[in-house]
Amino acid sequence: MSIENQHAETWKHLNKHLPEWLEESKKYTEDGNVAAYIPELASAPKDVLGICIMDAAGNTAKSGDHEYRFTLQSISKVFTLILALIDRGEEVVFSKVGMEPTGDDFNSMLKLELVEPGIPFNPLINAGAIAISSLIAGSSPDEQTNRILHFFREVADNGTLDINQDVHKSESDTAHRNRSLAYFLKDNGVLHHDVEDVLEVYFSHCSVEVGCADLARMALVLAHNGFDPIRNQRLIPRRFVQIAKTFMFTCGMYNASGEFAMNVGLPAKSGVSGGILTMVPGRYGIGVVGPALNNKGNSTAGVHLLGKLSQEFDWSLF
């Protein structure tokens, strides 16, 4: 069978069975809890599960609550990392954050004090992402935030993406831990800007509202190494996507990244509002949402559904 025919068969099989696989995974929403440390996220419906898979021609396979809207949260960190690499280059970025997984919770500050030189272990934990926010070009938090929004809209091919102001306010009002992380970073010489200014940029990019199709569209660009196969245009240098995908693989699901690599085997990034952005390299962009989370901060049902798909289609990179 030719490669094209194989792809057509896979796509047909996917569209046919996606609803039943989603239904099967939905029961895992009961095992998780909606994030409550950001009060505005606590009212999310626990039983939501949606998915959108997009191929290189822009065809989509969608199922469940794929139209449900949610905020990017930590998924935004992949794209601010890429933007910081574009704005400052590798040398500057890696003078502020490391390249290693932590094995600790996403909001941990443990290693900042324990391990010299006191820079965050990687750009996907909160401390690392706060350091990255400070590197985005712009002379004020507003300018930096606008630059980020513009970049997210470009990659998602969706000019309407915007900040959910209620989530932004709720996060800012209750971010005692992130504030303490940021002040610690300032003391360690990692942040040069005013701490509140940096946090304003960080809260803003975490609060950008999307749907599963936006995640799938953004992931599609990463799946094609920074080239947008739909608009036929390079959006991101290949090297920066390679860096981002490596971090997604090793740290994207936090201290469950090893388990996810074992069971799904794809680069991915989760967020506490329940989103997961992942991809089949060279093929599909995938966006999933399921707000009920496990104790590592990843969507219980979302991870299960991705495991099922990966098994069914042999998507693991290993």
| Signed CA dihedral, 64, 66, 68, 73: sign only | positive
Tokens coding 228: 């947008």
Nearer Cβ to ligand DON (60/144): 144
Annotated binding residue 171: yes
Mark whether 272 is an active-site residue: yes
In 3-state terms, what secondary structure has residue 293?
strand
Mark whether 183 is an active-site residue: no
In 3-state terms, what secondary structure has residue 55?
coil
Catalytic residue among 202, 207, 241, 303: 202
Catalytic residue among 74, 134, 172, 310: 74
Per-residue exposure over 61-79, b if at least 16 CB sit within 10 Å of its own CB, e if not: bbbbbbebebbbbbbbbbb
Tokens 């299960």, residue? 304
Annotated binding residue 263: no
Mark whether 169 is an active-site residue: no
Annotated binding residue 288: no
Catalytic residue among 272, 280, 288, 289: 272
Catalytic residue among 134, 254, 273, 299: 254
DSSP string, 176-221: HHHHHHHHHHHHTT---S-HHHHHHHHHHHHTEEE-HHHHHHHHHH
- Minimum separation from the CB atom of position 52 to ligand DON (A): 20
Mark whether 37 is an active-site residue: no
- Minimum separation from the CB atom of position 297 to ligand DON (A): 3
Mark whether 74 is an active-site residue: yes
Contact residues toward ligand DON (CB under 6 A) are 73-74, 106-107, 126, 171, 178, 206, 270-272, 297
DSSP 60: E
- Minimum separation from the CB atom of position 200 to ligand DON (A): 13
Binding residues for substrate: 74, 126, 171, 178, 202, 254, 272
Indicate which residues carry an active-site annotation.
74, 77, 202, 254, 272
